[in-house]
Structure 1
Amino acid sequence: MTPTASDPPTSDPHRAWAYRPATPLAGAPGGPLSGLSFSVKDLYGVAGWPLHASTRAPVPEPGPSALVRRLLDLGADAVGKTHLHEIALGITGANGFGGTLHPSDPRRVPGGSSSGAAVSVALGQVDFALGTDTGGSIRVPAAWCGVAGFKPTKGHPAWSLEGVLPLSPTCDHAGPLARDVKTIARVHGALTGQEVGAQPWDGLRVGVWMPEGWTDGTVEQAVDSFAAALTSRGATLSPVAFPEVLDAYSPIVLGEAARVHAQALELNDPGFLPFTLAALRQGQALGDADLQTAFARREEYRAVLGDLFRSFDVLLAPTVPTPPPLIGQDEVEIGEGRTPLRRAVLRITAPFSLLGVPVLALPTGTPSVGVQLVGRPGEDDRLLGLGLALEEGR
């Protein structure tokens, strides 16, 4: 009998899991990742496991995931599939199966779209989780669930998107979440064949992107404390500015998502949640000129970021505008006043998915508040090494 998704069982009170087989898929014995277990976001194709992308609507079949296969070959055990924000189009964790709950406060959202991935890690159910990040979908739940997450450089050969149901081919990234950077670095090193070592902060030029009014006081204080820790390690910090990019990001993602799900959208009632369906219909309505304009703006933003990286080695930014909001909360109170939740979150994280640069999301000393370390394209190992140095107290 072919397995199917079902409503979460009582043994999964956080509704993190989309599918758990009776027996995990065992990794190859003796590999560099032997002894580690991982969960798989339900966008990755796994032979014999269902794929629903946490929606009641029909979705395309992406084929088997090359990354899952590679991790199994390296020795890690795949435990099961985790829920996500429906089809990965959102940042709270809502979906067609009830939505995932925050690991320590069920009144609040865990973040998305890799909600179940973050919760499975935060609860210690797995050693690491496979997520995806199109506009913050690894980093936001990492911050709100108090774990680490890594979005590699777009197109990084170790983090294949083959066999992953896309949302936006332009902005999609595969990546891991874990309770510590050490585990992420171990997985990355096994995939690349190159061990990641701690990197010194002394002498580094750090640009601090802290847009005025975009966060609340709790987040601002957490970022200030984190910045002070970098200064104490010999880094030189200076403020930087960067524009809001949602005028490019949103048309690209919605337009591409509508194409991915075009077959379902031909149905009168495809089965998506109302917000998801409205967003996809919005993407359907975009014309070629709208997308051309968005891609042109993307290139303008790429040039701005390139200029920053000529003056700075790494950027520091908040990951989220506030601690996790309540379930159903559509706005957040930040320095500039009440702001729609989607905009408040995505304008902080989306630039770095839109532009494809590597980002390491780290927890801070403030619960459910995280920071982003942003590196130059291709400097993934260096970025992870900087995170390792912080974790090791160097």
Structure 2
Amino acid sequence: MSQVTSNDPQRAWAYVPPEPLQTRQDGPLAGLTFSVKDLYGVPGWPLTASTRAPVPDPGESVLVERLLDLGAAAVGKTHLHEIALGITGLNGFGGTAHPTLPDAVPGGSSSGAAVSVALGQVGPIKVNFALGTDTGGSIRVPAAWCGVVGFKPTKGHEAWSTQGVLPLSWTCDHAGPLARDVTTVVKVHEALTGQEVQPRDWRGVRVALWLPEGWTDSTVTDAVLAFAGQLEGLGATVAPVHLPEMMDAYTPIVLSEAAQVHAEALKQDEPGFLPFTLASLRQGAALSAADVQHAFERRVEYRALLDGIFTAFDVILAPAVPTPPPLQGQDEVEIGEGVMPLRRAVLRITSPFSLLGAPVVAYPTETPFVGVQLVGRHGEDDRLLGLALALEEKGEKGA
């Protein structure tokens, strides 16, 4: 492993090769570099999933291979929250710190991915975009807390393959990019799909505002409402909607599947996971078939609720995080409802859209390190990206 610690105070990098990995000099992504979350299988590169425990080999990532074929260069692997089971960036190698707030968390699980694009350049390592994964918010949360853009495509999107990626939950896992702007995300998406994404006018777009009372602090509430006002200024209509908390479906599905992924390690008394990770995996292994079946039944009901919203609306606007970035080691946050465990406060905002597989763009607000989610209908990834692209262009023009 090459030495990166002297240029990596945030501990974002899991592995940096002596030379970037590049298979061709031309192609639509020629000149762009990308980091790879350390869940993706890359031949010749180690895979640790940021844990000291043994992990299965997922094989070679189809997505990484495709990006290389399109002319992009892979510069290294980034750290994550251990095995992707968390939202702060804590792992078996010391954890990753926020790119500009040393005492704060960057978000997870794609912590190193977000840091790598937020900084853009770490020593000699330049990063234009990062590959992350999102099972319950793992692209969107670090994007929001690091002030960058994240994209979680529709579940099963053929351009964003999860083949060759170490799973956490095959039901909820997504592969996707983070970048400093929508333009870069769109360029990568266009190259992968072969389809052009056009900016889309917000006039007449019906926006459902999902901002559950008490689920965020005043900073986030104000930022989301201001963002809604900006959309209205562009000609959209905004009206509130209700969705319930979906943790009763999300948690059993994810933990039971994660326990199956890491079943071999769990045969050991002390496999090497951090205590919270190990306890969560053992909790998942202890779930009964009936518990998991009930969770899947609830998921079907929640999908019907989401589909119902999209019969009356085109896009959902929601917070991406409940508060600005919390401090390292902070386990609770204070929101409108009072003090709540950080994990639940975050995941109940983001997990519905990975549980249900809808495409989401995490977009920064004018409030530093507070982002929103723009959620589209299943399969309407290009339309959603077009709306986000138009929003970015309007911002650049000072509108």
TM bin, normalised by shorter chain, reads: over 0.9
Matched, 1:116 2:112: yes
Q: State the 1:237 CA deviation.
A: 0.4
- Cα distance in 2 for partners of 1:335, 1:38 equals 38
Alignment TM-score, normalising by the size of structure 1 = 0.98
Matched, 1:290 2:278: no
1:392 is paired with a residue whose SS is helix
Which residue of the partner structure matches residue 148 of structure 2?
147
Which residue of the partner structure matches residue 276 of structure 1?
277
Q: State the 1:27 CA deviation.
A: 4.3
Matched, 1:195 2:191: no
Identity of aligned residues (%): 73
- Cα distance in 1 for partners of 2:307, 2:218 equals 30
Matched, 1:53 2:49: yes
What does the per-residue CA deviation read over 1:126-183, in whole Å, with 9 as the maximum and x for residues that have no partner? 0000000000000000000000000000000000011000000000000000000000
Matched, 1:349 2:350: yes
The one of 10, 14, 30 aligned to 1:34: 30
- Cα distance in 1 for partners of 2:353, 2:76 equals 29
- Cα distance in 2 for partners of 1:235, 1:44 equals 39
Which residue of the partner structure matches residue 323 of structure 2?
322
What does the per-residue CA deviation read over 1:183-227, in whole Å, with 9 as the maximum and x for residues that have no partner? 000000000000111011000110000000000000011001110
1:351 is paired with a residue whose SS is helix
Matched, 1:226 2:222: no
- Cα distance in 1 for partners of 2:23, 2:193 equals 18
2:7 is paired with a residue whose SS is coil
- Cα distance in 1 for partners of 2:297, 2:393 equals 42
What does the per-residue CA deviation read over 1:366-387, in whole Å, with 9 as the maximum and x for residues that have no partner? 0010000000000000000000
Q: State the 1:10 CA deviation.
A: 2.1
Which residue of the partner structure matches residue 16 of structure 1?
12
- Cα distance in 1 for partners of 2:294, 2:226 equals 39
Alignment TM-score, normalising by the size of structure 2 = 0.97
- Cα distance in 2 for partners of 1:118, 1:29 equals 26
Q: State the 1:106 CA deviation.
A: 1.1
- Cα distance in 2 for partners of 1:57, 1:89 equals 14
Which residue of the partner structure matches residue 253 of structure 2?
252
Q: Which amino acid aligns with 2:298?
A: R
- Cα distance in 2 for partners of 1:268, 1:209 equals 43
Matched, 1:211 2:207: no
Structure 1 moving runs of 4+ over 4 Å: none
User: Does the Cα contact within 8 Å between 1:27 and 1:34 map onto a contact in 2?
Assistant: no
- Cα distance in 2 for partners of 1:84, 1:10 equals 19
1:10 is paired with a residue whose SS is helix
Alpha-carbon RMSD across the aligned residues, in angstroms, is 1.0
Q: Which amino acid aligns with 2:214?
A: G
Which residue of the partner structure matches residue 63 of structure 1?
59
Q: Which amino acid aligns with 2:184?
A: T
What does the per-residue CA deviation read over 1:64-106, in whole Å, with 9 as the maximum and x for residues that have no partner? 1000000000000100000000000000000000000000011
Q: State the 1:268 CA deviation.
A: 1.2
Q: How many residues get paired? A: 390
The one of 80, 86, 92 aligned to 2:88: 92
1:111 is paired with a residue whose SS is coil
Deviates more, 1:8-17 or 1:81-90: 8-17
Matched, 1:266 2:267: yes
Q: Which amino acid aligns with 1:168?
A: S
Q: Which amino acid aligns with 2:204?
A: G
Q: Which amino acid aligns with 2:176?
A: G
- Cα distance in 1 for partners of 2:204, 2:274 equals 50
Label 1:17 to 1:65 Cα distance change in 2 as closer, same or farther (>3 A). Answer: same
- Cα distance in 2 for partners of 1:210, 1:323 equals 16
User: Does the Cα contact within 8 Å between 1:27 and 1:71 map onto a contact in 2?
Assistant: no
Which residue of the partner structure matches residue 168 of structure 2?
167
User: Does the Cα contact within 8 Å between 1:59 and 1:261 map onto a contact in 2?
Assistant: yes
Q: Which amino acid aligns with 2:379?
A: G
- Cα distance in 1 for partners of 2:210, 2:24 equals 43
- Cα distance in 1 for partners of 2:48, 2:368 equals 32
Gaps of 5+ in 1: none
What does the per-residue CA deviation read over 1:297-344, in whole Å, with 9 as the maximum and x for residues that have no partner? 000000000100000000000000000000111100000000100000
What does the per-residue CA deviation read over 1:247-281, in whole Å, with 9 as the maximum and x for residues that have no partner? 00000000000000000000111000000000001
User: Does the Cα contact within 8 Å between 1:53 and 1:86 map onto a contact in 2?
Assistant: yes
Q: Which amino acid aligns with 1:192?
A: T
User: Does the Cα contact within 8 Å between 1:103 and 1:122 map onto a contact in 2?
Assistant: yes
Q: Which amino acid aligns with 1:219?
A: V
